Amino acid sequence: MSTIGTPVIVLGMHRSGTSLLAGTLEASGVFMGDDQNLMAAQEEVNAKGFWEHEGIVAIHDEIFKNLGSHWKQIASLPAGWQTDVRIEPFREQIISIIRSEFTGKGVWGLKDPRMCRLLPLWHTIFQKLNVRPKFIIISRHPFEVASSLTKRDTDLSWQYSLYLWLKYTLEAEEYSADYDRSWMTYEALNKDWQRTIIKTGKDLDLQWPLSPDEVEVKSKMKELVTEALWHNHADELVKNQTDDLDCTLDLYGILSDLSNSAENESKELNRIQHIREKISSTDRLLNKSNEPLIREYFQREEIISNFQQENTLLVQQREEFAALNKALREENELLVQQRDESYLRTDELHTRINELHERLHSGLIGLLNRLLK
């Protein structure tokens, strides 16, 4: 077995309970990263914490940027993007982080919703590290996700958020299909975290480092699972909002069934494939319409890059001018000092000459007086 151990990867759309799941894994003894490298909790967003590795999240954002995309982008990433030469440095950076921080940790985990879309790259990373990951896919009612997301990210609309939920969820399922995985819902994890995490361990054929029955685990989970942190309940949202893009509720129903039992997994996965095919024409249209935006994005990036280079040159020239100006000021100050010293010496010399003139004049007068006598 690899010294890097067994990675457990949390997959799920933003605002779907991925942080709660990651916190549950951490409470169960799964190493999620050193505290100093994890994103700090934010009172209004995730009061208990994110359990996201800041360095890896930053790399993920750079990957999206280099592809002319963003985690909020609903268009698909370019075909074969994971082999793009622009991406290679980021792959090596991630591998370096994993080897440096997760080697020898046994069962360890990663959580960043962006991984739902970036898994094709991660598969090559896992292969290079000689590890086989296990995946947990957590889903939350899409109305709850959309409600939470539009409150946090006010530039996102309700429909856009629902479609983003679709994209993340479908891609998470597609890219994890060849690996051990377990399904759960945010609702189940909130209502009975012990039963849910025990079931997940069985699904993945994985023994958690700490048993859910241990006092330490229960104490941590008591802090994590509170009704006050479960906002935007689906029951109320369904009453007031019926716009579900015709398939979001169907997909969530399938995911809920998979969470309860995987006996009919093959049938449920076929239903998911049907939904994927159902939105494929919309996807193609979105991808096609996004192409000119990507071209414009890179054109603007090139312009910005040129401006940055010019600005760097101007800053360098300004610093050189400043250094030259400083040298000139110092030289001028030295010249002024030398001038002042010269003036002082001249004044002293004039004083001395005057003194000599007076002495000479006095001597001549004295001599003349003696001669006249």
Query: Could you tell me if 52 and 197 lie in one domain?
Result: yes
Query: Could you say which of 278, 307, 322 is where a domain stops?
Result: 278
Is position 1 within any domain? Answer: no
pTM listed for this prediction: 0.76
Is position 194 within any domain? Answer: yes
Q: How confident is the model at residue 1 (pLDDT cuts 50, 70, 90)?
A: very low
Is position 77 within any domain? Answer: yes
Residue 223's pLDDT is what?
A: 86
Query: Could you say which of 278, 311, 339 is where a domain stops?
Result: 278
For 110-156, the pLDDT digits (tens) are: 999 999 999 999 999 999 999 999 999 999 999 999 988 998 898 88
- Please state the domain count of the chain: 2
Domain of 65? 6-278
Is position 28 within any domain? Answer: yes
Query: Could you tell me if 77 and 122 lie in one domain?
Result: yes
Query: Could you tell me if 331 and 349 lie in one domain?
Result: yes
Query: Could you tell me if 303 and 159 lie in one domain?
Result: no
Calpha distance 156→177 (Å, rounded): 29
Query: Could you tell me if 320 and 242 lie in one domain?
Result: no
Q: How confident is the model at residue 300 (pLDDT cuts 50, 70, 90)?
A: low
Query: Could you tell me if 146 and 245 lie in one domain?
Result: yes
Q: How confident is the model at residue 171 (pLDDT cuts 50, 70, 90)?
A: very high
Residue 50's pLDDT is what?
A: 82
Query: Could you tell me if 327 and 238 lie in one domain?
Result: no
